[in-house]
Amino acid sequence: MFALRCAVRPYAWGSREFIAAMQGRSVPSAGPEAELWIGAHPGDPSRDGTGRGLDELIAQAPRALLGAAADRFGARLPYLMKVLAAASPLSLQAHPDLARAQAGYAAEDAAGVAPDSAERSYVDRNHKPELLVALTPFDALCGFRPAAQARELLGAVAAPAGVLAALDAGGPVAAVGALLALPRETAAAAAAQALALADRLPAAEAVLVRRLEEAFPGDVGVLVALLLTHLTLAPGEGLWVPPGVMHAYVRGAGIEVMAASDNVLRGGLTGKHVNVPELLAVLGDGSAAPAVIAPVEIGPEVTTWPVPVDDFALHRVSPGGRRCEPGLDGARVVLCVAGELVLGDGADEIRLGAGQAAFVAAGTPLELTGTGTAFVASR
């Protein structure tokens, strides 16, 4: 068991308030702070007190730190936990399943696409199912809405006739393909028209269109967004996003845990590479379904959000001044999100304040005391 120093990712869509306030730093921060990464992803691994990356430590002693998970996943932590703080919308995106990720990575390697190329769609061989648990009211787009409802919204903003025909003939995935195939000038004109006609939409969708067009003027993703289910999570609610589901996080803060991958297929609201054929292949027939998950209490101090994968589990632990032994197995990362907590393993103790984290090796007992709240990712 040891404390971790975790990196903040300064993506442009990040909040200048949430992560800084959680960690007790000056608000607003000097620049946007989008994600706090807690884990061993090689893109920005958490580090121990000597500066060694958690990925390096696991590679040196996988069995000691991961336990039986090393047999299943190799010498790597199979998940990544983040604090995500969005002040403006993220790109429309979907993630591949495991077979697609492995095939896509191999195909790009064979084609000679450099690992660090901006044209690369697959940066690793892993899938990326993810769970987001809201810490604040959280605005998101996730999964396709019913086709009839989508057609009504697109018709209200006078979407191009070819897009409506594609939706009628082939459903929402075909409509995504038709929108992303529009010439740049046509797409920009359609997005501008959607903004001009936003008053024809229901109030929530009108606000959404204005927000997206302000953040990404002329981006056809403004119309793609109308194909998706628009929802707001209450604090404590979870959103399960399996592979093959188009989604975008619009605004809010939450805890995100996912399989340790950075494979993203984008579909608008971005200045980055959009690989349309691969995105459409990942979306398949559009039937992959997200789910809003209510928290499940499994003890007086422990809550979880069940998900159908074995890469990770997420628990919230609030000892309430008592000693709590959450009984979680495998390698764990612990993030205090409020108050103060003391982590103990029977021999040593680590004191965590809000925004601070620790790693607990597989097979190491864990107890928490204090009046704070922690999220624990495990496998």
**Which of the residues are catalytic?**
266
Q: What SS3 class is residue 75?
A: coil
CA dihedral 344, 345, 349, 352 (to 10 degrees): -50
CA distance 376 to 359: 10
Q: What SS3 class is residue 133?
A: strand
The tokens describing 102, both together, are 């492995």
Beta strands in 260-379 (DSSP E): 265-266, 291-293, 296-299, 302-304, 313-317, 332-338, 340-344, 349-353, 357-360, 367-370, 373-378
The tokens describing 363, both together, are 């097979």
Q: Does residue 279 come out as left (phi exceeding 0), alpha (psi in the -120 to 50 range) or beta?
A: alpha
